Amino acid sequence: MEQRQINSSTICAISTPPGTGGIATARISGPQAIEIVSKIWRGANLTDTKSHTAHFGTIFDPETGQHLDDGVVTVFRGPRSYTGEDTIEITVHGSKWIQRELINLMIRQGAEIADRGEFTRRAVVNGRLDIAEAEAVADMIAADSRTAARIALSHIRGEYSSELEALRNKLINLAALTELELDFSEEDVNFADRSQLLDLAREVNRKVTSLAESFATGRAIKEGIRVAIAGATNAGKSTLLNRLLGEEKAIVSDIHGTTRDVIEDTAEINGLLFRFIDTAGLRATSDPIEQIGINRARQAISNADITLWLVDSANPTLPTEKDPKTIILYNKTDIASAPEGALAISALTDLDLNPLLEELTRQAAPMQINPAQTVTNARHYQALIKASQSSARIIDALQTTLPTDLIAQDIRETITHLATITTPITTPLLLQEIFQHFCVGK
């Protein structure tokens, strides 16, 4: 992709989803934004209007004089806009034709079509957002549950970046203290200082490691907490999946071994996204296809965050191994009773699945997290793993009294790994990699 001159070009795109809607919003950003819109606009004089104000008027084609539509323009003057540049949002009626024509009008007046994520990219280049905050914007757009949105919003607001900033400051402090030790080493203050350095290094390592570990939870929240529905054939697993999803997604029958493939989908429960995975019933079989299904079932169970082991109350089969991530759920209580005190339902007849949903939420409770300290991004996770390793080396080095300059190198390395998470990175390839996941118009 040719790199566009960010400071001199003006970009435009439809920011609402593609297709027909009640209304649609186009965005235009760059030095000529106000000038270009003024040429296709009859209404308030946009050169004089205050920033962050909306105005009703008419969009027209200056070449033919023809009206396109009535609409509302909202003016955001740089640098106090999302992109940091002069930006205008134009809201019109959401016909596909009007949307296309509006973009064509702006292009004829000198605007260029925006690339994916280019508005956000400009926000980064202009210092309005750091990279981690920009990535959180994409997460926010993709958020599928209250918790995922809460984490994304906290990251957009910079709360996560501040956590990283605090760690960076600790490392700088550690570097300074190391220098100090170097200066005084001949006077034998060596020993006392090292224990102080060690405390600081351990604290940094603990925090970096715990951030890296939060990724397991962060990813589960973003992609759905994986709940494998497992158990013997005919226990009612597919029936339960359909109930949880509210649709007839999986085939149900009284023939044992109906489900072969892994069937999954997500549902939001109490603000958390769960990914329910229906699996083949576990039994000894000579059918090679069913055996493949059973292998897949075992794989799904081992990858799951929670296993929901379903038991036919009339014909109970319990798991052979005890596992803290397994919830035992008795089914078919309409035809047979479950043991006293057991979690039990009738997937077929119960209208109320609340006891089960509450148990699932309780199992997922460790996943109710501090948004500012939860990593949801694989790129950040990789940087944190590296920072965790290099900060562990600082501790080792301090304990084995390695020369101070080697310690300083590990400190610098840790700072660099953390910095890649938030600081604008200049390699165009990485920037492109990050922004290609955005939609056009954001």
Structure token pair of residue 228: 């494998």
Task: Pick the closest to residue 58 from 78, 34, 39 (CA basis).
Answer: 39
Cβ–Cβ contacts within 10 Å for residue 31, how many? 14
d(CA 27, CA 43): 18
- Chain residues 303-322 in contact with ligand GTP, contact rule CB under 6 A: none
- Residue 68 or 306 having the CB closest to ligand GTP: 306
Q: Residue 438: how many CA atoms within 13 Å on its side-chain side?
A: 24
Return the number of the residue (57 or 316) whose C-beta is nearest ligand GTP.
Answer: 316
Per-residue x/- track, 250-269, ligand GTP (CB under 6 A): --xxx-xxxx----------
- Nearest residue (CB) to ligand GTP, 36 versus 250: 250
Strand 67-76 relative to strand 225-231, pairing:
unpaired
**What gap in Å lies between CA 109 and CA 123, rounded to an integer?**
24
Residues 267-304 as b/e (b if ≥16 CB within 10 A, e otherwise) read bebeebbbbbbbbbbbeebeeeebeebbebbeebbeeb
> Is 146 in contact with 183 (CB distance < 8 Å)?
no
| 25 contributes a contact to Mg ion by CB under 5 A | no
Neighbours of 172 (CB within 10 A): 12
Peptide bond preceding 79: is omega within 30 degrees of 0, i.e. cis? yes
Instruction: Give the residue with the Cβ less far from ligand GTP, 205 or 259.
Output: 259
Residues 203-242 that bind ligand GTP (CB under 6 A): 233-239
Which listed range, 170-178, 329-337, 361-369, 424-432, lies at the site for ligand GTP (CB under 6 A)?
A: 329-337
Q: Please tell me whether residue 422 binds Mg ion under the rule CB under 5 A.
A: no
Interior/surface letters 249-261, b for 16+ CB within 10 angstroms, e for the rest:
ebebeeeebbbbe
Q: Does 334 bind ligand GTP (CB under 6 A)?
A: yes
Instruction: Output helix, strand, coil percentages for the chain, rounded to the nearest 5.
Output: 45, 20, 35
What angle separates helix 159-184 from helix 404-422, to the nearest 10 degrees? 170
Site string for Mg ion, 64-103 (x = CB under 5 A): ----------------------------------------
Site string for ligand GTP, 263-302 (x = CB under 6 A): -----------------xx---------------------
- 414/174 Cα distance (integer angstroms): 11
* From candidates 32, 87, 145, 331, binder to ligand GTP by CB under 6 A: 331
Closer by beta carbon to ligand GTP, 29 or else 234? 234
- Residue 356 CB, nearest approach to Mg ion (Å): 18
Asked if residue 242 binds Mg ion (CB under 5 A), the reply is no
Q: What does 256 interact with, of Mg ion, ligand GTP, none (CB < 5 to 8 A by kind)?
A: ligand GTP
CA distance 337 to 274: 28
In the complex with ligand GTP, which residue's Cβ is closer, 218 or 281? 281
First and final C-alpha spacing in the chain: 18
Name the residue nearer to ligand GTP (CB basis): 136 or 338. 338
Residue nearer to ligand GTP on the CB measure, 72 or 262:
262
Interacting partner of 346 out of Mg ion, ligand GTP, none (Cβ under 5 to 8 A depending on kind): ligand GTP
Stretch that binds Mg ion, among 158-166, 255-263, 401-409, 434-442 (CB under 5 A): 255-263
Residue closer to ligand GTP, measured from CB, 230 or 387: 230
- Residue 234 as a binder of Mg ion (CB under 5 A): the answer is no
Work out the angle at residue 188's Cα, subtended by the Cα atoms of residues 184 and 189, and round it to the nearest 5 degrees: 65
Site string for ligand GTP, 130-159 (x = CB under 6 A): ------------------------------
Please say which residue, 142 or 335, places its beta carbon nearer to ligand GTP.
335
Q: Which residues are CB-neighbours of 291 under 8 A, at least 6 positions away? A: 285
Find residue 265's DSSP bridge partners: 276
Q: How far is the CB of 294 from Mg ion (least distance, A)?
A: 12
Q: Name the segment binding Mg ion (CB under 5 A); options: 95-103, 159-167, 192-200, 251-259.
A: 251-259
Whole-angstrom distance, CA of residue 403 vs CA of residue 397: 8
What is the Cα–Cα distance from 242 to 251, expressed in whole angstroms?
9
Check binding of 259 to Mg ion (CB under 5 A): yes
Strands 67-76 and 112-113: unpaired
Q: Select from 15, 217, 346, 390 the one that contacts ligand GTP (CB under 6 A).
A: 346
Contacts of 356 (CB under 8 A, 6+ apart): 329, 343, 345
At 296, which amino acid appears? Answer: R
Q: Is position 238 an interface residue for Mg ion (rule: CB under 5 A)? A: yes
Where along the sequence are the contacts to ligand GTP (CB under 6 A)? 233-239, 252-254, 256-259, 280-281, 331-332, 334-335, 346-348
Where along the sequence are the contacts to Mg ion (CB under 5 A)? 237-238, 258-259
